[in-house]
Structure 1
Amino acid sequence: MTPAMDLRPLAPAAALPSPAAGRAPFDRAWVTEAVGRIEADVNRSADTHLIRIPLPGAPGITLYLKDESSHPTGSLKHRLARSLFLYALCNGWIGPDTTIIESSSGSTAISEAYFARLLGLRFIAVMPRATSPEKVAAIAFQGGEPFLIDGWNTSEAARRLAAERNGHYMDQFTYAERATDWRGNNNIAESIFAQMAREPHPVPAWIVCGAGTGGTAATIGRFVRYRKLATRLCVADPAASVFHRHFADRSVLRVKACTSVIEGIGRTEVEPSFLPDLVDRMAVVPDAASIAAARRISQVVGRTCGGSTGTSIAACLDLIAEMTARGEGGSIVTLLCDSGERYRSTLYDDHWLKAQGLDIRDQAARLDAVFAARP
């Protein structure tokens, strides 16, 4: 594994009025070529699969998994990284010598490292030291340079590092909701509804996703309103996160720490891309329930799924139970965000779970009641 970078201590934060402050305009010919490279890369990729999950314990309701792990960089964040690069390029924030810096728990950084390498740019990922070793290795594999810090305030560290290096801080937490074209352009919501068109219940009763930046939730929430669809949006949030607290009380903007072990979702403070008015419901999910659900859905689909997928599956169980109690049929769509292979040394390691004080056995019966038992 490539070791994390050993950079000098960060200077105090500098006030940056805009990402492009003090820079000369970049060469338009290079920007045109860069956008073309990204478009060509998109053209080489097919859409991700929509997997139908039978529910023996809930006849009349069908669960679907939008498998975002099949992107070239293995996660839902591939779409976001592509959008962020196009947004920054077309805003004049990135040039041929720009160092790209991002704050991430891993998956976004892996995807951004891919696109940075595609454009021949240096990429530095600022991440918590607790990030899974598999993710750190994947960033290095894509040509990125991991920069691990103690604590969770990666955004502030990335901002200061960008100021020091005269680089561009991509800032997924601010720009996720605006970089994606929520009206269409093959965003995740448009892709879901196109693939659902021939299913028995083509308009899902619910779409369930997590929130790290909040960008995916914002895209789905806007799209269903724009297309005048009856689908409701449920955001599944780790119990330690601030998002569900903010949803219940808008005055709550931060918590002291988000101690969840589920990487990629949940935050200490409300990020600019989280738009609670687009969310119909928040589901609060303990880490043990997320991990148990991730392991069970992995058995059902025949390959491992990440922890944030488990968080969404746990939220789906509540919706399925409520629909069943009311005698309702229909469909629910959620996301297979990334592969569980990135968490072999953590979420799928029983010794690691024990060290974290996590016991997932009590969640098994609830899962058995909905999904067919698998050996």
Structure 2
Amino acid sequence: MTTKPRTAARALSRIEAAAPPVSSNREWLSEAIGKIEADFNRSADTHLIRLPLPHHPGVTLYLKDESSHPTGSLKHRLARSLFLYALCNEWIGPQTTIVEASSGSTAVSEAYFARMLGLRFIAVVPASTAAPKLDAILFHGGEIHAVDDPRTVYDVAHRLAAETDGHYLDQFTYAERATDWRGNNNIAESIFAQMAQEEHPVPAWVVCGAGTGGTSATVGRYLRYQRHATRLCVADPEHSVFHRHFADPAVTVLPDRCASRIEGIGRPRLEPSFAPGVIDRMIAVGDAESIGAMRALSQVLGRRAGGSTGTNLIACLTLADELVAAGQTGSIVTLLCDGGDRYACTYYDDAWLAERGIAWAPVAERIARVLSD
């Protein structure tokens, strides 16, 4: 028996029959994106706090207060971007379980958005994560999966996503690409809009930390795209791999787990979202310095700030010293990453700090003098 040759029309019909139909989730996706965008429209921009430095004439420090987001931290921006990115890629549907590896704040924000969309959310967190952060994840409807070794959070998150037929948001991979670095209301664009009426509207430096690397990648790319003279400094805990990789690209992992006590920044391995090429400088900061600076700043502000804000402040004051020494003036902008109430049982507990041998008090006294008239 002979077989008739397949005609182009028959082949095309075969292809069309095999092609999947237009996504049955499209209506749900549209509604989900609309909910997230509506939430953004209901939110005001975060404040930019002016903090004069009386012992640094001609230099002014500004704090971008990210603690005022609905979930209380800078990670609210990242979580929104990660959800929109995953939705627009159709990685998330109406029955998808959302999984994330996080030291706490990102998971808090992601739990908020997952509940908004009616989705189950599981946070894989280090067992050392501050209890108030865990309480916040639970408050927003999330579930906690704690691991003893922080280096295992990635593998565990992958496994849980597979077991639940879910989606691992993977902030450490997608943070640098989920946010539009050219503008579109990102944090860098917001900073420059708010600085427009200041004495030095184009900052000499913007300072931020690196947890995923997403914020530093967004800021660094935006500075170059807008052709600003502003330089980007990343403040990194001393027990982190990022500043080591910046100095020597061959270093991509620490020989042991990351010993830093500063939650939210610093990692034991080089994360895919870290973009060293857009960073002008990195400053390594000790834990005692970060916590001492955080405590001193909180006295000046009249409210508690988190540990990573103290890390940023140490780097800012180093840069301010250098500007004065060089006879230069200008502004420095950094981030108040989150509030300190989440650390009441850790960074603001003197006994907790003493048990861990963190000598923060002398640093706090020194920074208090720098910030005082």
Same fold by TM (over 0.5)?
A: yes
For 1:311 and 1:195, the matched residues in 2 are separated by: 23
- 1:144 is displaced (CA, Å) by 0.6
**1:201 and 2:195 are equivalent in the alignment:** no
Distance 2:34 2:273 in 1: 27
User: Partner of 1:247 in structure 2?
Assistant: 246
Contact 2:306–2:338 (Cα < 8 Å) also in 1: yes
Which residue does the alignment assign to 2:359?
359
Matched, 1:298 2:307: no
Shift of 1:364: 3.4
CA contact (8 A) 1:177 1:273 kept: yes
Counterpart of 1:286 in structure 2 is 286
Aligned counterparts of 1:254 and 1:264: Cα–Cα separation in 2: 18
Give the whole-Å Cα distance in 2 for the aligned partners of 1:185 and 1:313: 27
1:171-227, CA deviations, whole angstroms, 9 ceiling, x for partnerless residues?
A: 000000000011111000000000000000000000000000000000000000000
Contact 1:113 1:144 in 2 (8 A): yes
In the alignment, the residues of structure 1 paired with residue 179 and residue 158 of structure 2 have an alpha-carbon distance, to the nearest angstrom, of 22
- Structure 2 match to 1:267: 267
5 Å matches for 1:203-222? 203-222=202-221
1:52 aligns with 2:17: no
Tell me the alpha carbon deviations over residues 307-355 of structure 1, each in whole angstroms, 9 at most, x when there is no partner: 0000000111110111111111100000000000000000010000011
Per-residue CA deviation, residues 254-287 of structure 1 (Å, 9 max, x unaligned), is 0021111100000010000000001000000000
Letter in 2 for 1:28: R
Higher Cα radius of gyration: 2
Q: What secondary structure sits across from 2:56 in the alignment?
A: coil
**Counterpart position of 1:192:** 191
> Match of 1:109?
107
Verify the 8 A CA contact 1:26 1:95 in the aligned structure 2.
no
147-156 vs 222-231, which deviates more? 147-156
Q: CA deviation at 1:361?
A: 2.6
CA distance in 2, matches of 1:253, 1:26: 43
AA partner of residue 260 (structure 1):
S
State yes or no: 1:231 paired with 2:230.
Answer: yes
Question: Where does residue 342 of structure 2 map in the other structure?
Answer: 342
Query: Counterpart in 2 of 1:77?
Result: 75
| Contact map agreement 1:26 1:92 (CA 8 A) in 2 | no
Who is 1:4 aligned against? none
- The residue aligned with 2:4 is none
CA deviation string 1:343-372 (max 9, x = no partner) = 000001000001111111331353144201
Any idea what SS the aligned residue of 1:353 has? helix
Question: Bigger CA drift: 356-365 or 195-204?
Answer: 356-365
Partners in 2 of 1:99 and 1:308 — Cα distance?
Answer: 30
Q: 1:150 to 1:361 in 2, by over 3 A?
A: same
Contact 2:214 2:273 in 1 (8 A): yes
Q: In 1, distance between residues paired with 2:177 and 2:190?
A: 18
Aligned to 1:3: none
Q: Quick check: 1:25–1:92 contact (8 Å CA) kept in 2?
A: no
- Measure how far apart 1:301 and its partner are: 1.3
Please say if 1:370 is aligned against 2:370. yes
How far apart, in 2, do the equivalents of 1:105 and 1:201 lie?
36
What TM-score does the superposition give when structure 1 sets the normalisation length?
0.92
For 1:131 and 1:222, the matched residues in 2 are separated by 31
Match of 1:87 among 73, 81, 85: 85
Deviation at 1:165, TM superposition (A): 1.2
Residue 304 of structure 2 aligns to a residue in which SS? Answer: coil
Q: For the residues of structure 2 that align with 1:162 and 1:39, how far apart are their CA atoms? A: 26
Q: State, as a whole percentage, how many aligned pairs show the same letter.
A: 67
Give the distance between the partners of 2:155 and 2:63, measured in 1 at CA: 34
Gaps of 5+ in 1: 1-23
Superposition deviation, residue 31 in structure 1: 0.3
- Alignment correspondent of 2:127: 129
Aligned AA for 1:205?
A
Q: Does 1:277 align with 2:277?
A: yes
Count of aligned pairs: 350
Q: 3-state SS of the aligned residue for 2:86?
A: helix
1:128 Cα deviation (Å)?
Answer: 0.4
Distance 1:107 1:219 in 2: 19
Deviates more, 1:294-303 or 1:266-275: 294-303
Aligned partner of 1:308 in structure 2 is 308
CA displacement at 1:155 relative to structure 2: 1.4
Structure 1 contact 26–94 (Cα < 8 Å) conserved: no
Provide the C-alpha distance between the structure 2 equivalents of 1:35 and 1:278, rounded to a whole number of angstroms.
Answer: 30
Alpha carbons 1:117, 1:142 under 8 Å: kept: yes
Q: Which amino acid aligns with 2:221?
A: R
* 1:177 is the counterpart of 2:176: yes
Q: What TM-score results when the alignment is normalised by the length of structure 2?
A: 0.92
Partner SS for 1:63: strand
Distance verdict in 2 for CA 1:365–1:137, change over 3 Å: closer
- In 2: Cα distance, 1:96 partner to 1:177 partner: 26
1:272 counterpart SS class: coil
Q: Does structure 1 retain, via aligned residues, the 8 Å contact 2:101–2:124?
A: yes
**Conserved? CA contact 2:157–2:168, under 8 Å:** yes
